[in-house]
Amino acid sequence: MNFFTYLGRTVEIIYLDRNGQLNQRKIRLLSVKDGKIRAYCFKRRATRYFSVENVLAMRPVVKKKAS
């Protein structure tokens, strides 16, 4: 996955946490360095770190236009 493409954007990820449990989060990618993703997590309302190797899937969040 090319995380650098999504820097500054909001994405949904599916990842394995420290306990090996599957989780899904909506995050805004802030930086990627040394195998770690620094991101704002909307669920926790705080900056969090995620291991690149534990991210199993990622997709951009598309804002819906009001009609």
Domains of the chain, CATH where assigned: 3-60 (2.30.30)
Residue 57: per-residue pLDDT: 97
Residues 7-35, mean pLDDT to the nearest whole number = 96
On whether the CB atoms of residues 37 and 11 are closer than 8 A, the answer is: no
- pLDDT for residue 62: 87
Q: At a CB cut-off of 8 Å and minimum separation 6, what does 42 contact?
A: 10, 25, 26, 27, 28
Contact of 41 with 25, CB cutoff 8 Å: yes
pLDDT digit string, tens, across residues 34-61: 999 999 999 999 999 999 999 999 999 9
CA distance linking residue 33 with residue 12, whole number of Å:
19
- Report percent pLDDT > 90 for the chain: 85
- What pTM value is reported for the model? 0.87
CB 30 within 8 A of CB 64: no
Give the Cα separation of 30 and 47 in Å (integer): 9
Instruction: Please report the pLDDT score of residue 67 as a whole number.
Output: 64
